[in-house]
Amino acid sequence: MDYREKLKTMILERALKVSDKPIFKLSSGKMSTYYIDLRTITLDPEGGYIIGNLIFNMIKGRNPDAIGGLTLGADPISYATSIISYLNKQPVKPFVVRKEPKGHGTGKQIEGNVKPGEKVFIVEDVVTTAGSSLKAAKVAKDYGLEILGIIALVDREEGGEENIKNEGFDFYPVFKISELLNS
């Protein structure tokens, strides 16, 4: 199965909403003529299977110890990838970066079985300016994790790639929005 083509079809059929006028409010507050609701795919059994295989195939040669990112967008992607990695006998652990440190108990901001010194990928569903990805990368780096790169299912091509590279990280988008909008 061509996982990338199948994911592209799913995005075009389910997740990409387009309008002639800027009616979609983004998390930045900016208005847009399109919106990508990838949770319709990342929180779906078939979508998770496809994404897990696709991302696992992207990272397996780099031998990461773990994959994760800022909750909530990264969570189903990292879980799906982790399960597929286990089925392929090359386990990659999932981890979650909380938006803020936990307010009780140990006060952790990273959840999962990761330890300082381990190699990780940061994952995100959609990157616009890369604020969420870079926040997750900073927390992970401060914890002592080695960042192998940042992966996004879709790059909105609005400065995120440049921001990621300016911080010294490699960026691996599965799709650029121009490819999806021109399909």
From the annotation, which residues make up the binding site? 98-99, 102, 104, 124-132, 156
User: Annotated binding site for orotate: which residue ranges?
Assistant: 128, 156
Distance CA 38, CA 152 (A): 11
Phi and psi at 132, nearest 5°, equal: -65, -45
User: Annotated binding site for 5-phospho-alpha-D-ribose 1-diphosphate: which residue ranges?
Assistant: 98-99, 102, 104, 124-132
